[in-house]
Amino acid sequence: MLLLVVSGVVWKGIMHLERTYLQLIASTFVGRRTDYALQRDNGRYVRVGHPLTYEALHQHVQGAHTVGTYVIDEQGTCRFAVFDADREDGLQVLTQLQTCLAGLSIPSYLEHSRRGGHLWVLLASLVTPAHLRRWLLPSCPEGVEFYPKQEVSAGYGSLMRVPFGVHRLTGKRYGFAGPWQEPVEWLTTLQRAKVPALAPLPSRTPAVQQHTPQSLTTSVVTSDASLCSATIQAWCAAQDALRVIGRYVHLDRRGVGCCPFGEHHSDGKDSHPSFRAYTPRVAGGSCWYCYTWQGGGNLFNFLQRYYHLDARTLWHRLLSGEQF
């Protein structure tokens, strides 16, 4: 049941399409309903101290103010998780993570931000933050923040800026990646991830107590969850990208050759070299690009596309020692 308070006068003045829009935002991207925060001009947030209203959400999407929502709700559960990459290569890191999550049948949605991006995983059911962190935290790349940051509800916890608003520090809106659609139509198509049941944590013995919470969490999560972590980027970093790609594409001394992905070329074949392989600027990062297609990626992405494999299958084949 939606718990947001409705301001009668304002609610009547909002058109039906706008009401639907606000309802979809509330049911998708709002955690705690009994309180929220507003962003200041310096980018920081201040707690408001009363329940969130549709009027406040309306002002948010209109750009009058910017709402931050507490990820853990008043019942101590979560309806979403967010990977926050506040760094120069943030979008690239989150795009790789999104590809990997998709290989595990976990839908996610990439939102641009001021200094990188946010990758939202929407949940099919409310779960405790501890359960959510055990499931998804091992997938979090190094240097990326994961929300919820807490395993239990202790006070309000961390918060996220609600999408579709204006960042007060820059005065800009940061939208979601992908084909543009009307917001209401797009929101109705969003898929929710089914959270799996996890094996119970082992009882604490003196040997287990010597581990840090992170190593304990990692040790009880299945290898599939660990698949999307920095291990893939680490594998890419350990390879000679130019040498591996050179097995599939004849490259000149500049790393230029014909694109092996013919589906992106009008005649089904790249007859004029438009593909370039190069040494990644970031270890394990992007190392190839097709100028005709205007797309590229890292070595893992190249092998996925070349062999038409999903991320999970390719990773397990690499772990089994198969050579590509």
pLDDT in tens, 256-268: 999 998 877 777 7
Query: What pLDDT does 171 receive?
Result: 94
Query: What pLDDT does 219 receive?
Result: 27
Domain-located, residue 196: no
* Same domain (yes/no): 37, 181: yes
**C-alpha to C-alpha distance for 318 and 300, rounded to whole angstroms:** 10
Tokens at 117, concatenated = 């991006």
Name the residue range of residue 257's domain: 230-319
Query: What pLDDT does 205 receive?
Result: 37
Q: Is 15 exposed, middle or buried (0-12, 13-18, 19+ CB in 10 A)?
A: exposed
Mean pLDDT value of segment 24-36: 96
The yes-or-no verdict on residue 125 having pLDDT over 50 is yes
312 pLDDT tier (thresholds 50, 70, 90): confident
Q: Which of 170-179, 243-252, 300-309 has the highest mean pLDDT?
A: 243-252
Closest CA to 147 of 222, 69, 45, 46: 69
Domain-located, residue 175: yes
Least confident of 74-83, 174-183, 295-304: 174-183
* Same domain (yes/no): 51, 145: yes
Domain-located, residue 150: yes
* Same domain (yes/no): 147, 20: yes
Domain-located, residue 210: no
Could you give the number of structural domains in the chain? 2
* Same domain (yes/no): 182, 82: yes
Q: Is 69 helix (H, G, I), strand (E, B) or coil?
A: strand
Query: What pLDDT does 229 receive?
Result: 53
Give the burial string for 269-294 (b: 16+ CB within 10 Å, else e). ebeebbbbbbebebebbbbbbbeeee
Alpha-helical (H) ranges within 238-310 are 241-246, 299-307
Question: Which of 173, 188, 203 is the endpoint of a domain?
Answer: 188
* Same domain (yes/no): 172, 254: no
Query: What pLDDT does 100 receive?
Result: 81
Domain-located, residue 224: no
Mean pLDDT value of segment 289-306: 87
120 pLDDT tier (thresholds 50, 70, 90): very high
The yes-or-no verdict on residue 281 having pLDDT over 60 is yes
* Same domain (yes/no): 247, 308: yes
CATH code for the domain of 164: 3.90.920.20
Query: Cis omega (within 30 of 0) on the bond before 141?
Result: no
Bigger pLDDT: 175 vs 17? 175
Query: What pLDDT does 264 receive?
Result: 77
Domain-located, residue 198: no
* Same domain (yes/no): 56, 149: yes
Mean pLDDT value of segment 169-192: 88
* Same domain (yes/no): 172, 240: no
The yes-or-no verdict on residue 311 having pLDDT over 80 is no
Q: With beta carbons less than 8 A apart as the criterion, state whether 259 and 290 touch.
A: yes
CATH code for the domain of 237: 3.90.580.10
Closest CA to 195 of 124, 261, 129, 146: 124
6 pLDDT tier (thresholds 50, 70, 90): very low
237 pLDDT tier (thresholds 50, 70, 90): confident
Average pLDDT score over the chain: 82
Q: With beta carbons less than 8 A apart as the criterion, state whether 127 and 255 touch.
A: no
Bigger pLDDT: 242 vs 271? 242
Tokens at 274, concatenated = 């438009």
C-beta neighbour count of 301 within 10 angstroms: 21
Query: What pLDDT does 213 receive?
Result: 30
169 pLDDT tier (thresholds 50, 70, 90): very high
Domain-located, residue 121: yes
* Same domain (yes/no): 159, 234: no
* Same domain (yes/no): 34, 117: yes
* Same domain (yes/no): 20, 86: yes
Question: Which of 188, 220, 242 is the endpoint of a domain?
Answer: 188
E strands, the chain, are 37-39, 45-47, 67-70, 78-85, 109-113, 116-127, 145-147, 159-161, 166-167, 172-173, 256-257, 275-277, 288-290, 295-297
Question: Which of 130, 160, 188 is the endpoint of a domain?
Answer: 188
Tokens at 82, concatenated = 């967010």
Least confident of 29-38, 44-53, 225-234: 225-234
Domain-located, residue 157: yes
* Same domain (yes/no): 22, 159: yes
pLDDT in tens, 188-225: 999 999 998 865 544 433 333 333 233 222 222 333 54
